[in-house]
Structure 1
Amino acid sequence: MQVLRRIPERATQPSVLSIGNFDGVHRGHQGLLDLLVERARALDAAATVLTFEPHPREYFSPETAPTRLASMRDKLLQLAAHGVDRAYVCRFDAGLAAMSAEDFVENMLVRGLDVRHLIIGDDFRFGARRQGDFALLQREGARAGFGVEAMPTLEHDGVRVSSSAVRAALADGALDRAAELLGRPYSIAGRVVAGKQLGRSIAYPTANIALRHRRPALTGVFAVAVEGLAPAPVAGIANLGSRPTVGGQCPNLEVHMLDWSAECYGAHLRVHFLHKLRDEARYDSLDALKQQIRRDEAAARAWFADHPLQD
């Protein structure tokens, strides 16, 4: 999949396009992407996604914007896995925020991307003051010669599949529910960086994984599966939070592997969150923390005994 950071002034290849944030690439997004690829192959055009960085809500109100489910890297990996040929990651700035819906269509969709067919979510809005909607796209598409199709909402057990629903499930610790909405367990990927080695001092060494965003979608202590260390996933315990016992403030992801002792500094790992063991808590001493981690390990091992990892 090609990843491009700007839309050209004039397209050199036609596209079938979808526009959106695609945060988490949940099952609703996946259905849209399957349709996108199908339409693109039928029209002999590139299956193309247009997304923005930062998300418009982060641009306009960064303090109240929703937490991100995935990094841009993870989003692009998921888009590629679902057959997208080309992803445009466009910077959302003052100029784009002020662009009228009509100019957006003419400059970006018609000239820049040569859109032959457009597929959007049923709640998609765009342009200055969010004035662009499905009706406007249909009107502009008829004028410019491209079709417009809205992807209907996908429901699962009576709930609309959305990034907001995934965030709510993660915030509640309902990891099974989040996995159903995503079509896979929720995960975070990152590189192992040097920590303060407090885990070693209490006989529970951890891999500290760098977080790209300071507001994770979930917090607590979890049974996890870790990819990137061995051919098969490795079982572990993860703490995702501020580590109040040792005076931490910024969110941090630490993973203690249950049956792994080799060094892993610099490794790029993916941590799959499978089961929440408890909320994060503050303890009066490192010894009290160590005793709690021992209980967490026992609980995690009991859970994995009933839910063995697949190779």
Structure 2
Amino acid sequence: MQISVSVPEQSTTPTALTIGNFDGLHLGHRAMLDKLIAVARAHHLPACVLTFEPHPREFFTPDQAPARLTGMREKLALLQAAGVDHTFVLRFGRQLAAQTPQEFIDRVLVQGFGVQHLIIGDDFCFGRKRAGNLATLQAAGAAQGFTVDAMHTVEVDGIRVSSSAVREALFAGNLELAARLLGRTYNVAGRVIHGDKIGRKLGFPTANIQFRRKRIPLDGVFAVTVEGLQERPLQGAASIGVRPTLGYGLKPVLEVHLLDFSAEIYRQHVSVNFVHKLRDQKKYDSVDALKEQIARDVDDTRRYFAGLTRIAANATPEDKSA
């Protein structure tokens, strides 16, 4: 997949295009991308995605913007895995925000992308004061020779799939629902960096995972699997949050204690999959009390994964094939 950080001044080839933030790349996004790629292949066009950095809500109301589900690196990896040919990451700032809907259509869609087929969500708005919408694009397409197709709502268990719904599930600790909405286990990726070694001092060494998001969509202690270190995922107990026992006002951190693992892994890039919530963050009266709780968390993690192993071992051939 090609990645560009600007829109061409003048398109040299027509495109099939979709536009959005694609935060989390959930099942609704996947349905849109599948549709985009099918249209692109049918008409022998590149399947292109236009996304924005920062998220428009982070630009307009930074203190009220929602926690990101995925960082840019994770988003790009998911778009590539979905089969997108070219992703354009357009910087969202005052100049772009000031464009009228017609200016965006003329300068970006027609001149920059040479769009032939555009696929958007049915609630998509754009341009200054969000004045442009699906009807605006359909009228422009009819006048300037490109098709506009709206992707309608995708539902799971009667729930409208959206980034907001995924965040709500994660905040509530309902990882199972979040996974159904995403179509995969929720994960956070980052590089293992040096921390303050507190876990090691307590007898439970942890991998400190660097992530650049200011807000996180979940908080607590979790049973996790970690990819990127061995051929098969490793099991572990993870804490993500501000570590209330060790001090308030700290930025969120992600620490993972890997079960039965002791290799040196600094600077490795890993992906942490959150499979089950054990408990909320809690402030303890002493470091000894925290140490005792960590020991219980590790035991609970072992029991959780042992239970999954027993379920898998007892599954019928029909269950395994499903």
Q: Distance in 2 between matches of 1:15 and 1:65?
A: 31
Q: Could you tell me which amino acid in structure 2 is paired with residue 115 of structure 1?
A: V
Q: Is the 8 A contact 1:234 1:259 kept in 2?
A: no
Residues 246-255 or 152-161, more deviating? 246-255
1:246 maps to 246
Q: Which residue is equivalent to 2:45?
A: 45
Secondary structure in 1 matching 2:141: helix
Residue of structure 2 equivalent to 1:300: 301
Q: Would you say the 8 A contact 1:37–1:47 is kept in 2?
A: yes
Asked whether the equivalents of residues 2 and 86 of structure 1 are also in contact (C-alpha less than 8 Å), the reply is yes
Gaps of 5+ in 1: none
The CA distance in 2 between the partners of 1:305 and 1:243, in whole Å, is: 27
Deviation at 1:67, TM superposition (A): 0.8
CA distance in 2, matches of 1:252, 1:189: 13
The one-letter amino acid of 2:199's match is: G
Q: How far did 1:43 drift?
A: 1.1
Partner of 1:129: 129
The Cα offsets for residues 72-125 of structure 1, whole Å up to 9 and x where unpaired, read as 111111111111000000000111000000010010000100000000001100
Q: Deviations over 1:253-275 (max 9, x none)?
A: 00000111111101101000000
Alpha-carbon offset, residue 308 of structure 1? 3.6
- For 2:270 and 2:247, the matched residues in 1 are separated by 26
Instruction: Name 1:257's counterpart in structure 2.
Output: 258
Counterpart CA distance in 2 for 1:289 and 1:264 is: 25
1:121, 1:152 within 8 Å by CA — same for their partners in 2?
yes
Q: CA deviation at 1:306?
A: 1.3
Counterparts of 1:141-160 in structure 2, within 5 Å, are 141-160=141-160
In structure 2, the residue matched to 1:25 is 25
With the length of structure 1 as denominator, give the TM-score of the two structures.
Answer: 0.98
What are the within-5 Å matches in structure 2 for residues 71-220 of structure 1?
Answer: 71-220=71-220
**What is the TM-score when the length of structure 2 is the normalising length?**
0.95
CA distance in 2 between partners of 1:279 and 1:111 (Å): 51
Q: What is the CA RMSD across the aligned residues, in angstroms?
A: 1.1
Identity %: 55
The SS at the match of 1:132 is coil
Instruction: Find the aligned partners of 2:307 and 2:149 in 1 and give their Cα distance.
Output: 45
Where in structure 1 do 4 or more consecutive aligned residues deviate above 4 Å? none
CA deviation digits over 1:222-271, x for unaligned, max 9?
Answer: 00000011110000000001012121511000000011111110110100
- Number of residue pairs the alignment of both structures matches: 310
State how far apart, in whole Å, the 2-side matches of 1:202 and 1:94 are: 49
Answer yes or no: is the 8 Å Cα contact 1:170–1:178 preserved in 2: yes
Matches of 2:222 and 2:49 in 1, distance apart?
34
| Structure-2 residue corresponding to 1:268 | 269
Superposed CA offset, 1:274-293 (max 9, x none): 00000011112221111001
Give the drift of 1:185: 0.4
